[in-house]
Chains A and B, each alone.
Chain A
Amino acid sequence: MVLVCASVVGRANNPLYFRSLLPGGDAEILKFQYIVHCALDAVEEKVTSPQRRSGDAVESYLGLLYPTEDYRVYGYISNTRIKLMLIVDDHVARDDEMRQVFKKFHQAYVDAASNPFYTANTPLTSKRFDSTVTAKLTPRT
């Protein structure tokens, strides 16, 4: 599994953070933008019609959102309706592994959002968050 793109999407489905994790991946950044943007439709579907029984715990991990020819988009939604989305390569990823990755991603976001100088639902420009995401989600197998 190779993580190629990480994204944080706000409550109004506006991008808060977008980063290509591929070395020299800026060329495909627009394509990733389109893919993550498209995957928001799947997020809405999963959020509005969750396939779980009554009494089940609310699952933050949304699973596979949108498969394309080359990539797959996985999603995670926080209690504050912040969406964390990751694009992985075409290899099938295990859900347990993706959950762990999303938990790290979420923790990094929580740390960044806890900054008293950060205003909620605004673009994340923290270099620390950027370095954390780069360090924890860099392509690895």
Chain B
Amino acid sequence: MTSPQRIIEPGLTAFSAAEIHVAVVPIGLVPEDLLHQYLGLITKHRQVDLGNVRSFYKESQKSPFKFFPWKTGSMHFRFLTEEAASRPQPLAGLHVHRKTLAIIGILHCPAATEFKRAYVRFEQVCRAYPDAQAIRCFAFEPSDMLIAANKPDMPNLVLFPPVRAGGLEQLEGHAEVVMHDFAASLLGELEKWMLTASPAMVSLNTFADSSDKFLVPSTIAEEVSKRLYNDEEMIRKRRYGRCQKAMGDTALLAGSPADASDHYNTAVELCRLTNDLVWTSAALEGLAHAKVLESCITSGALRDRTSFDVATTPPPSPNPSPRNPRIALLQAENAPSSEASRTSSGFTGRPFWYALRQSNVERDVRSLFAEARQAVRRKGAIPLLVEQDLKFARFLAGLHGNKARKEVGELMNAVVETGAALPLIEDKLVTLMEAAQVMGLVGSARKRVLLLWQAIEFSRVSERPNISTLQIARKALEPPDDPLEGNEDEAELFRRKTPVAPGVPRHWAAVRCGCIEAVLNTAILAAQHSDVWDASALLLREHCSELLPQRQESLVNTLAAAAHQMGIDDRQRTGPGPPPLLIFRRCLPLPEPLRPQQLQILPTSTARGPQEGPFIYSAFGDRQQQQEAAAEGVRQQEARWVAGEMGSVEIEISNPTTMQMKVDRLALEAEHVGDPSIAPKDQALGALQGTPSWRSHPVALWLPPETPPTKVILKGAALRKGLYVMTGCSITSLGATWRQKWSLPATTLGQKLQASGAVPMPSVQVTESGGLAEARVTVVQSLPLLEPRLHAPPPTLIPPAQSDSSSSAIVTPEGTPKSSATAAAPAAKGDGAKPLPMAALKGQMLQWAMLLSNAGSIPVTSADVSLSVAASAPAAAAAAALQLRRPMAQGVQVSVGNRLLAQALPLLPAHSGAPSRKTQVPLLLYSPQVVSQEEEVAWLELRLEYSGPRVSAASGIDAYPSSPTSPASPGTPSSGGLLGRRSTVPIQLRLLPSLQVKKVTLAEHHEALQPGPNQQQSQPPERLSHPDSRQTDPGSQQSNPEEGRHHQTWGTSDPLWNGRLPQQQTQDTRQTRDEYSEDHTGSQSSRTTPAMRHRCVVELQVWNETSAALDVWMGPQVSPAAATPVWQDALAYGARLPMTRGHPSTPQHACRRTIPAQQQAIVAAFAEPLSRQQAGGSLAENETEAGTLLLDPAAVQAALTPRALSILLPPTISISFQAVIPNAGESAPLASYELLQGTGEDRPEAAGRSRSQSTAMWGIRCPVGEAVEVQTLVRNESGTSLEVCLSLACHSVDAAPDWERGGDSSSVLWCGSLTGITMPLGSFSNLHNRATICFASPGLYQLYAYEVKMSHGGTHLLPSGCHVQQGSIYFLAEH
């Protein structure tokens, strides 16, 4: 018998006895990726329920198991690689489970050129395993010919269906069926062995009986005992006892711990009887295993485990292979179960250990292990003693975790001490490493590190292979295992090589550096260049401050040399690398015009109002508004990117080394986590389609030595919708490429102290900063991109020095990137947008246009343009506003032609080549500023909101409507709003003084009314000889076509006719009224003034402050607000703006006058109602520029003298009365006080009523009983013919008016028409109506007219459209 290298098996647990060793052997060439995928299909079935096996089980013989748990039991497999399975097992005679009982070959048919030869190779491999009882050869991806062929000579061949033909589900189901059949076959073989087992098959001269590597030299007492028990009977019983032990092992492997306990009990008795101490100990150990397994079955720990792990274990990120991605998907879906069962079958997990802890099996196991250790100690089988201690320690660690640290620590101290006496070097090493791992399980991570360091030193001293020492050194760097999950020794056999990961806490740098240096030195000796690179990078990355500059330089050289030695594939490192270090700061939000916004492109009526709801007042309204504002602020700060467009991330990069570093390529890396709106399976399928999800924008850097954290902006484009996590950066330097994760930002000393105080025991786990919440960014679906250009005509009135950038035809802010919106690009540069400087004259109507072109790849289906006037300067322009020191302009009016934009939608993207990818939105601005003659500033905000078609989660972009969709049309946007973009262009509009009205005067103008068309077209008098006029342009008079018409007006005797209305010549209103009254009440019937027309002339003394000649006239109201509806309709059909075509009434009402630059002139016009009077101006040179200015109300008020007012507001109809008493002649009129005194009473109410009824109170005295002739004089003061209908009433001022009866019939007698007097009145004509009145009793009477109605051409005039000056007369009737 050859001497084995090691006896102690690493990774043994209390459940190892129930695990069947299965060798998994790849046959021929199997690509590594596919091999791992095929292994995943197999290792998924580490635990097979006997209930599932039963359907494949053929009971060919009577079962040897009496208590076989078909419903609750299970079989367990431990899959080993060929190397591990072929390792000699010296204790295979003692423990059956150490044998390799089954073989599974993996054959990748496309790689096997000759299938038969490959199968023969498999059979040759199987011969190396004489104990194998079940053999299978799994052939993946077989060809059609192979499937069709009959293979009677290949009984163990199992063909798996091709993935492309059968699909994933079929492959998975096939693997399940095959593994269940495999387990049933193995169960049948185990039963067969149980039935045929006999003591004759048992050897008494095994490795455990004779080897000096296993047993210490026997003492004299033992020799005596051996001879004492060496008779035939004892030998037969010993054989029988060992046979029972083997049968117990087999029953345990078959999944029947109850049967195993029976056999173990018998074995213990027999072995004790025969003083077979090693087998006694092994049987006791097996009995403990059986107790534990039985407890697992009865407590249901095995059943609960699977469901728990599947539900709670997060799936690892899929790593699809380019060759067979569907299998990778399958593996990723099933990863939880396979990952959980990878460590030690199904005996892991928190519920498993909890159920086991509740079963009170610990006491039995403890006593059995103590007995077993006692027995083996007597025999001196140190390896067996170490194994039992390790098994028991792992069992305690699983049950109690860190609580068992003390007991386990003492146990491991004993193990280490005992292990020092082991004869085999490998056993010593395994003992040290196993003790270290067990100490790690109970939380003694530092002791684990010390033991592993001792193992490294021992391995070096023992001159073991460097590669083996490297494995120990790597393990020392790794974090300890989870006590609930067990060790990962078996997993390493199938696991790919992972980069060196530091698992030692950072706080003790010397120890950590020692571990890393151990890996580095061993890897150099073992020529493992990738490990050399990893270790050097780790030292430089995390312990640069502890290294001397010379050491840093040598490490950099080592890095470069290792990268040079590594293969091309290895140069693409998956783990982190050396500095530069990266600190993530934030994902920058997109610039304002590119940022996705939740838009509400809705009609105003349907927009949600603030008072929506059943309650008028909400007590929480303010709070809700604050919360909404805060949420909006957070939303604005949150970074949201758009799929397919470039986003920016702010990071800090540092170089802590003392050497200059050249980074050849630095690219941002991001991982697409998923889209909440898409099902996970669809996302996985999308990922498997091979479409990249991220496109980075790499840069190159030179980093000086000891570079502090320096801010760098990196860019990248997310290509899918969903959530992205910025995982780090891809760095290419020193000949290798690696993925650098984010480092934690440097903390202050106080933060360090706080952290250290809060966590007295630092966690072993290294904080992964890649999962920072700030590193996540939401990516929305692709949005359209409109490129707006503000088109403003070049102003010709403003000197270039004042016009700023508005002198150019197309306003384009400087530095605008091509992909961004032209007018809103400044928003990307800082916190706020720099306002666009524009200039205009006051009162000028600006006709701008916004050219919109779709620069993106998505059609624009809804858009809205708004131009608003800000109440104050924006924050960004505050500095500029302070610099300007100009007052804010008020009353700026804007209008936007959105209807035309709605008709132009959808705007197709540029690449479509469609003609409808551009449109133009007209804008109109108007500033009717007149009060201040200084330069003023208006802050405008041009806002453009647009969005593309709605995107559904399943099908992507919906088809956008073919017909034009108005943004205001109902149903287009939902209540939740559309996701689109909003670009805002702040505009600083400087309003420069244009016309300055120095003075306003009003003059009376009498003109003769002559029939003819010129009657209504008479012109205001031209002030040719105005004393203030400095007009020097003679051509302006001649050029006025209306100039000669004023000669048609009358010459006048009124001093006001030819001049302004001087203040000193104005009269009191009372006097004016008296004059009029006198005129009407006197014998004015003979005075004829029918052809006179009184009008008022407005004269403005205007100063042109511009540098160009202005054509100025006064006209009616010209307002863009009034013109908007017509204007929009006109625009919709492509008509020109009517503003420059003047105003139809302008030539009729005003005369144009061209005022040269920097000069003044007089402009006159007939006054219309003053409240609507305006002055207008237009350019003589360029008629596209026009504007209006409101007159200063104060100046107009100053000019509005009473005389002028009396002319401007003439009474249309005046009604007066004249009374004639035949006997007394013409009575003298009585004043008011005389009238009141005549009544004999002082009745204020009567007087008050009288005053209220007539503006002038006068009367006559008349005797009672005498007839008084009353003449009613009605005068039409207007230029149009009217028909007047009125009624008269006369009653005592004491009595209430009796409108029905027309007067006070009891005291007043009438003769003549009283009611319904109808008189046709020509223009400026009088009519008389006579009546006789007689008073029956004395008193004060009042005569007046009521129900005065006027009509013109059969049309009744409303009272508001005319003015009636109605007089009344009082009669003081006396005896």
Chain B binds chain A: yes
CB of B446 closer than 8 Å to a CB of A = yes
Q: Across the interface, do A34 and B514 meet the contact criterion of CB distance under 8 Å?
A: yes
Of the candidates A14, A15, A30, A41, the one whose C-beta lies within 8 Å of that of B447 is: A41
Which residues of A have CB within 8 Å of B510?
Answer: 15, 18, 29-30, 33
CB of A128 closer than 8 Å to a CB of B = no
Q: Across the interface, do B759 and A12 meet the contact criterion of CB distance under 8 Å?
A: yes
Q: How far does the Cβ of B456 sit from chain A's closest Cβ, in whole Å? A: 11
Q: How far does the Cβ of B50 sit from chain A's closest Cβ, in whole Å? A: 43
Which residues of A have CB within 8 Å of B453?
Answer: 34
Of the candidates B406, B450, B757, B761, the one whose C-beta lies within 8 Å of that of A38 is: B450
Instruction: Name the residue on A nearest B514 (C-beta).
Output: A30
Of the candidates B405, B445, B450, the one whose C-beta lies within 8 Å of that of A45 is: B405
Instruction: Name the residue on A nearest B406 (C-beta).
Output: A45
CA distance A29 to B760 in the complex (A): 25
CB proximity to A under 8 Å, residues B498-545:
507-508, 510-511, 514
Which residues of B have CB within 8 Å of A10?
Answer: 756
The answer to whether residues A34 and B760 also contact, given A13-B508, A18-B510, A119-B749 and a CB cut-off of 8 A, is no
* Binary CB contact string for chain B from 175 to 217 against chain A (1 if under 8 A, 0 otherwise): 0000000000000000000000000000000000000000000
The answer to whether residues A11 and B449 also contact, given A34-B511, A41-B444, A119-B749 and a CB cut-off of 8 A, is no
CB proximity to B under 8 Å, residues A1-25:
10-15, 18
CB of B753 closer than 8 Å to a CB of A = yes
CB of A136 closer than 8 Å to a CB of B = no
Q: Across the interface, do B446 and A11 meet the contact criterion of CB distance under 8 Å?
A: no
Q: How far does the Cβ of B779 sit from chain A's closest Cβ, in whole Å? A: 40
DSSP class of B's interface residues: helix, strand, loop or mixed?
helix
Q: Across the interface, do A37 and B446 meet the contact criterion of CB distance under 8 Å?
A: yes
CB of B762 closer than 8 Å to a CB of A = yes
CB of A44 closer than 8 Å to a CB of B = yes
Q: How far does the Cβ of A38 sit from chain B's closest Cβ, in whole Å? A: 4
* Binary CB contact string for chain B from 440 to 484 against chain A (1 if under 8 A, 0 otherwise): 000011110110010000000000000000000000000000000
Which residues of A have CB within 8 Å of B445?
Answer: 41
Which residues of B have CB within 8 Å of A138?
Answer: none
Q: How far does the Cβ of A124 sit from chain B's closest Cβ, in whole Å? A: 15
CA distance A121 to B762 in the complex (A): 15
The answer to whether residues A38 and B405 also contact, given A12-B760, A119-B749 and a CB cut-off of 8 A, is no
The answer to whether residues A34 and B762 also contact, given A11-B756, A12-B756, A15-B508 and a CB cut-off of 8 A, is no
CA distance A124 to B587 in the complex (A): 40
Which residues of A have CB within 8 Å of B757?
Answer: 11-12
CA distance A17 to B619 in the complex (A): 63
Instruction: Name the residue on A nearest B420 (C-beta).
Output: A69
CB proximity to A under 8 Å, residues B736-767:
749, 753, 755-757, 759-762
Instruction: Name the residue on B nearest A43 (C-beta).
Output: B446
Of the candidates B444, B450, B755, the one whose C-beta lies within 8 Å of that of A34 is: B450
Q: Across the interface, do B514 and A12 meet the contact criterion of CB distance under 8 Å?
A: no
Q: Across the interface, do B446 and A41 meet the contact criterion of CB distance under 8 Å?
A: yes
CB of A40 closer than 8 Å to a CB of B = yes
The answer to whether residues A33 and B753 also contact, given A45-B405, A81-B760 and a CB cut-off of 8 A, is no
CA distance A14 to B756 in the complex (A): 9
Q: Across the interface, do B760 and A33 meet the contact criterion of CB distance under 8 Å?
A: no
Q: How far does the Cβ of B1161 sit from chain A's closest Cβ, in whole Å? A: 84
Q: How far does the Cβ of A15 sit from chain B's closest Cβ, in whole Å? A: 6
Q: How far does the Cβ of A23 sit from chain B's closest Cβ, in whole Å? A: 21
Q: How far does the Cβ of A117 sit from chain B's closest Cβ, in whole Å? A: 14
CA distance A30 to B446 in the complex (A): 14
Q: How far does the Cβ of B146 sit from chain A's closest Cβ, in whole Å? A: 59
Q: Across the interface, do B444 and A12 meet the contact criterion of CB distance under 8 Å?
A: no
Which residues of B have CB within 8 Å of A122?
Answer: 749
* Binary CB contact string for chain A from 35 to 55 against chain B (1 if under 8 A, 0 otherwise): 101111100110001000000
Q: How far does the Cβ of A69 sit from chain B's closest Cβ, in whole Å? A: 9
CB of A120 closer than 8 Å to a CB of B = yes
CA distance A18 to B760 in the complex (A): 20
Of the candidates A11, A39, A45, A119, the one whose C-beta lies within 8 Å of that of B760 is: A11
Q: Across the interface, do B450 and A37 meet the contact criterion of CB distance under 8 Å?
A: yes
CA distance A79 to B436 in the complex (A): 32
Instruction: Name the residue on A nearest B509 (C-beta).
Output: A15
Which residues of A have CB within 8 Å of B508?
Answer: 13-15, 33, 37
Of the candidates A30, A45, A121, the one whose C-beta lies within 8 Å of that of B756 is: A121
Which residues of B have CB within 8 Å of A14?
Answer: 507-508, 756
The answer to whether residues A40 and B760 also contact, given A33-B508, A119-B749 and a CB cut-off of 8 A, is no
CA distance A78 to B507 in the complex (A): 20
Q: Across the interface, do A12 and B507 meet the contact criterion of CB distance under 8 Å?
A: yes
Which residues of B have CB within 8 Å of A41?
Answer: 409, 444-447
Q: How far does the Cβ of B533 sit from chain A's closest Cβ, in whole Å? A: 23
CA distance A49 to B406 in the complex (A): 10
Which residues of B have CB within 8 Å of A45?
Answer: 405-406, 409
CA distance A120 to B755 in the complex (A): 14
The answer to whether residues A33 and B511 also contact, given A10-B756, A40-B446, A121-B753 and a CB cut-off of 8 A, is yes
CA distance A28 to B757 in the complex (A): 31
CB proximity to B under 8 Å, residues A105-141:
119-122
Instruction: Name the residue on A nearest B439 (C-beta).
Output: A41
Q: Across the interface, do B450 and A12 meet the contact criterion of CB distance under 8 Å?
A: no
Q: List 26 A-B contacts (CB under 8 A).
A: A11-B760, A12-B507, A12-B755, A12-B759, A12-B760, A13-B508, A14-B508, A18-B510, A29-B510, A30-B510, A33-B511, A33-B514, A34-B453, A37-B446, A37-B449, A37-B508, A37-B511, A38-B449, A39-B446, A40-B446, A41-B409, A41-B446, A45-B406, A49-B406, A120-B753, A121-B756
Q: Which residues of A contact B (CB under 8 A)?
A: 10-15, 18, 29-30, 33-35, 37-41, 44-45, 49, 81, 119-122
Given A34-B511, A45-B409: 15 more A-B contacts, CB < 8 Å: A10-B756, A11-B757, A11-B760, A12-B755, A12-B756, A12-B759, A13-B508, A13-B762, A14-B508, A33-B514, A34-B514, A41-B409, A41-B447, A45-B405, A120-B753
